[in-house]
Amino acid sequence: MSEKPERQRIVEEAIEWMVRLQSGDFSAAEGDALERWKALSSEHAEVFRQLLGSLAPLQDSPWRGQPSATVLRALEQPSSRRRFVGGALGLFVLLAGGAGLERWVQAGMGLPGELATGTGERRDWLLADGSRLRLNARSKARPLFDGTQRRLELRRGALRLEVKEDPRGTFALDCASGRVDCASGSLLLAEERGAIRLVTLRGSARLTTGEGRQLVVAARRSLLFDAGGLLEQGPMQAGEDAWASGWLEVHDRSLAWVAEAFRPYLPGILQLDAEIAGNRVSGLFPLDDMHTSLDMLGRSLPIRVLRYSDYWISLRPA
């Protein structure tokens, strides 16, 4: 075996160990197995040591100070992955080191006052005003209730909210791109392609974009907006809230869109080759069984699903 493939194999195994170590569910037996792995050679031990603590190579890195989600998204691009396994071992430290550790596998550890879910987890809350909240996997929200207002901030991921009518007036949903006010009804708010998707499942809502534009949104409408304004709008599509029941219902969407929806349900990296990112997909995929969902993609599209480990899966052209 040539030197380069051998080093790539060691790096990828080290990444898998690191992800398992950061998962919050690392047993004593796994710890013993990790020590045996590091003892296989001096290179095994050195690669793992670099991943753990070598911050020096990152002093001038453009990734320094970036959120872990940004770095992860870069690693999911083929060219970035090659650069990573070729020598940029210190990148991983951005995910594991420093104040306010955000685990690589997004284990659902929220800040004080936050509601959060981990990888593959959906969860329900009964809020102080009687409204009901469901968060999708790898999502975070922060409620704020007092005698005069009821607010909820979407900080990451996706939520479904059943708003209960209240004497205090409308329920305010804040996000990075604006605010949604709803007196009663049901709605969906989700991050999508760097913007926010609003779906009014039942009842109307008022959208205030980041630029201050206000728009009354009737029931059963679907809008995509960002801080600059409205990007698209139309009737609510079938299955837009299917994730709340554990399904991803897809109607002529790009493979890139599907991969993005799968990622919160996978514990590591799902890499997508740019050559197949635009392939069109339709189907009904079980979110709680990613093995089956990925196999369904492999059978229905001209692609290969390559599983390097449970923590590194790649979608490539057939």
Predicted confidence (pLDDT) per residue in 119-153, tens digit: 899 999 999 999 999 999 999 999 999 888 999 99
Determine the structural domain holding residue 58 and report its residue range. 3-96
Least reliable range by pLDDT among 5-19, 205-219, 235-249, 260-274? 5-19
Q: What is the pLDDT of residues 162-184, one digit of tens each?
A: 999 998 899 999 999 999 999 99
Residue 202, sorted as left (phi over 0), alpha (psi -120 to 50) or beta, turns out to be: beta
Q: What is the CATH number of the domain that holds 170?
A: 2.60.120.1440
Residue 270 lies in a domain: yes
Helix (H) / strand (E) element for 217: namely: strand 214-217
Residue 262 lies in a domain: yes
91, 138: one domain: no
Domain boundary among 96, 111, 131: 96
229, 250: one domain: no
260, 230: one domain: no
229, 130: one domain: yes
259, 224: one domain: no
**pLDDT tier at 25 (50, 70, 90 boundaries)?**
low
Spatial neighbors of 267 by CB under 8 A, at least 6 apart, are 19, 23, 105, 119, 120, 310, 311
Of 182, 131, 139, 132, nearest to 158 (Cα)?
139
214, 286: one domain: no
Domain count, the chain: 3
Residue 106 lies in a domain: no
**pLDDT tier at 105 (50, 70, 90 boundaries)?**
very low
126, 203: one domain: yes
Residue 164 lies in a domain: yes
Q: What is the CATH number of the domain that holds 257?
A: 3.55.50.30
SS (H, E, C) 276-308: HCCCEEEEEEECCCHHHHHHHHHHHCCEEEEEE
Residue 116 lies in a domain: no
Domain boundary among 235, 266, 288: 235
Structure confidence at residue 251 (pLDDT)? 96
71, 128: one domain: no
Task: Give the pairing type, strands 312-317 and 269-272.
Answer: parallel
